[in-house]
Structure 1
């Protein structure tokens, strides 16, 4: 029993990995574009074979790599602001992402299986990264307050709920959410916040002094911000086709730019000395994150807020407006809303409500409005590519008219108002599943054998990692060499701090 207690994390993840291997072996196969056995892949293109230069990986892989960097580098370093939790921020980020991309591929395959087999391609990898993003957002809400075993269980459960929610929204409701603002950001944020509330203990309140940052931890966190900022257009545009993808890049680019300028301005206005904020300073738990990292986080909110709208015809000025609103809301959220939520024990370590939750809601509401206003005059026949449910029904007069100019699949013939209603249904369902799912998973994570951190373990790397003897806050004394040239003529004085 003692051996099991010491090794239960390792045993759990090894069992999961073996299960993944078995499920991949039984159900997974390559899609045709990656399968050597498919005959057209070995034929000359002039004789009906596949064109090697036109393989889908050639188009998707660059943006997939951008999204991949966001998951492993962007999210990982963004969460390193905690002065005693840097190893865990980056390390557990790596662990969770590696676990989730396998499980998300399987869950997506189960929901879209054909002939008893899952067919994996570059799109599978990309959508698995999107699911990982939702889980990493939730990780930000519970950062420093869960054990590695709890994180693994949370991730496994959240992937199931996230994939089912996405399947309902995309397949059943036929809602449009190109940048995943609803299905990734809103779901991940509110799932994580509810889990954090359920797991709240007095030990978290008593660990308040560990929640601040130090100079170098905030610099590392800004590395994550910059990687996320640079690659966010790829996140929002990767799955869009043709001109939709081009438009998504443009809209995201301008939304991020406007959001960043606005965040700097509002951060300065909210400071009594007109300074910019890039530091988390905590004086007591009820004012947690009262000065929390506006520049590290709020500058990214525009990428979230434009996600649902990314491929829509909102025009560059509309993208700027979205970014302006997102930057303002996010900074005010960090300044005032996060402390208010902390008073009622909604302890959100990274403030994911302000970077992902509220901007995601802005995107969802914006998508409802944009869908209600979308007409053929504004979009041309591309209207039926973006809002596929609005395409004419099969063999209708309108369908026969449109099909002559554009190869589209038959739709449901929805009106603009009906599409807007389904967009609202998708947003509401996402919120409901995130909140209820977070509550249930949070209760599961409270089980004693999952080892929730207690007392000194909260917000601290020490119990989970082999630590260096020097450099870690509170570790062995660090020697600093200072020189007094006037008195000692260059001789060194060693002091201890």
Structure 2
């Protein structure tokens, strides 16, 4: 490694070993649970490891770190999430649904992967690990509040993972210095875009499994998700050609909007009874994703100075808000004929309060985490060293132009 790059020899390995030792010790008190579906776990694992790993490889000089650090935060995050579930049972005495606990842990880590996408290339491995542990703990607390105090179902509480991850990451990014607008490293190449699209295709294929893993009506959830994903992908191509100056397709549009339908429909996939409803939701999600990206650049960045490295707000945040609102509408329509007006009104308030609380907790926790990541102990990297694999990975030689 060149001498002008800082060494993490005495920080990152010891932090990893300390956390792993803590996880091993705490696992001694862990509740044993082998009641889970390996098929569900396998599909979710393909999503978070392979799908998101390649999804974030669009930066031309940050492909090693995108895939490698993605694996690191996932394996640490899953262990932390499983332990947090057991801590919740131990402290409160309230036994959650223990089925598919390891699958739920893998799904919870998606929040961290999405958040890291907002600060991709701007934080070092130490900061990523600290961010992972803090976010998993806060997300588990948020989910516990939703389930036990606001009476949100387990399925919906985990679908908040997209919303939580997006706004947590955006809040962290406000505390991280922006890269130079002229930085040539903050760009993609045809090869990196192709690898990123490979991740998008993998996520697209496995998204129905993610949305249906904890749904009560699994077949309905799978069917609705497939339709929403199909329509959002088709709409992405149409809007991409309409919004570019030369009328050509833009890979970044397909890269993000093709998944928007899966994010939005996840909240109410098991409640949708008519195919056309899922299709409309997928269309709206794709429209919001592409048009929202223009709105974010024109409003969010100049006003709040948020640099969203991989566009998590338009890909996950805005479609998740649409999905949460759709869930409220579908649930309220279903309850309207079954409950008196007072109970109906309370139910709507709880549904709205659940996702408002999730966004609030994510934003506040993200701001605090951003301040923590700036501590000198965690060795924040200078702006001039953003988006560089050579900061962390060994290469046979320093190739010209890499």
Q: In the alignment, what sits opposite 2:235?
A: 262
Q: In the alignment, what sits opposite 1:40?
A: none
What do residues 280-336 of structure 1 show as CA deviations (whole Å, max 9, x unaligned)? xxxxxxxxxxxxx11111100001111111111352111001000000110112234
What do residues 366-402 of structure 1 show as CA deviations (whole Å, max 9, x unaligned)? 111111101497xxxxx9xxxxxx8x9xxxxxxxxxx
Secondary structure of 2:117 counterpart = helix
CA distance in 1, matches of 2:396, 2:140: 40
Q: In the alignment, what sits opposite 1:233?
A: 208
CA distance in 1, matches of 2:58, 2:99: 33
CA distance in 2, matches of 1:61, 1:237: 14
Alignment of 1:355 with 2:315, yes or no, is yes
- Give the TM-score normalised by structure 2: 0.92
Q: Judge which range, 180-189 or 308-317, deviates more.
A: 180-189
CA distance in 2, matches of 1:190, 1:363: 15
CA distance in 2, matches of 1:324, 1:94: 32
CA distance in 2, matches of 1:369, 1:456: 47
CA distance in 2, matches of 1:129, 1:191: 18
Alignment of 1:419 with 2:347, yes or no, is yes
- Give the TM-score normalised by structure 1: 0.75
- Contact 2:336 2:344 survives alignment (8 Å): no
User: Which of 417, 429, 434 is the aligned partner of 2:357?
Assistant: 429
CA distance in 1, matches of 2:20, 2:154: 31
Question: Cα 1:318–1:252, aligned 2, differ >3 Å: closer, same or farther?
Answer: same
Alignment of 1:71 with 2:31, yes or no, is no
Following TM superposition, by how much is the alpha carbon of 1:207 offset from its aligned partner in structure 2, in angstroms? 6.3
Q: In the alignment, what sits opposite 1:247?
A: 220
Following TM superposition, by how much is the alpha carbon of 1:246 offset from its aligned partner in structure 2, in angstroms? 0.8
Following TM superposition, by how much is the alpha carbon of 1:125 offset from its aligned partner in structure 2, in angstroms? 0.7
Q: In the alignment, what sits opposite 2:25?
A: 22
- Contact 1:176 1:423 survives alignment (8 Å): no
CA distance in 2, matches of 1:323, 1:315: 13
User: Which of 263, 275, 286 is the aligned partner of 1:316?
Assistant: 275
Alignment of 1:190 with 2:167, yes or no, is yes
Secondary structure of 1:462 counterpart = helix
Q: How many residues align?
A: 396
- Considering only aligned residues, what root-mean-square deviation do their CA atoms show, in Å? 2.6
- Contact 1:87 1:465 survives alignment (8 Å): yes
What do residues 51-109 of structure 1 show as CA deviations (whole Å, max 9, x unaligned)? xxxxx54xx22122111100000100000000000001000100000000000001111
- Contact 2:228 2:278 survives alignment (8 Å): yes
CA distance in 1, matches of 2:7, 2:249: 49
CA distance in 1, matches of 2:120, 2:323: 25
CA distance in 2, matches of 1:116, 1:168: 14
Alignment of 1:222 with 2:197, yes or no, is yes
Following TM superposition, by how much is the alpha carbon of 1:271 offset from its aligned partner in structure 2, in angstroms? 0.9
CA distance in 2, matches of 1:218, 1:473: 21
Q: In the alignment, what sits opposite 1:438?
A: 366
CA distance in 2, matches of 1:468, 1:301: 40
- Contact 2:232 2:257 survives alignment (8 Å): yes
- Contact 1:137 1:352 survives alignment (8 Å): yes
Q: Judge which range, 295-304 or 168-177, deviates more.
A: 168-177
User: Higher relative contact order at CA 8 Å, sep ≥6: structure 1 or structure 2?
Assistant: 2
CA distance in 2, matches of 1:199, 1:230: 34
Secondary structure of 1:418 counterpart = helix
Moved over 3 A (4+): 3-6, 113-122, 179-182, 413-417
Following TM superposition, by how much is the alpha carbon of 1:221 offset from its aligned partner in structure 2, in angstroms? 0.5
Q: In the alignment, what sits opposite 2:3?
A: none
Secondary structure of 1:259 counterpart = helix
- Contact 2:78 2:106 survives alignment (8 Å): yes
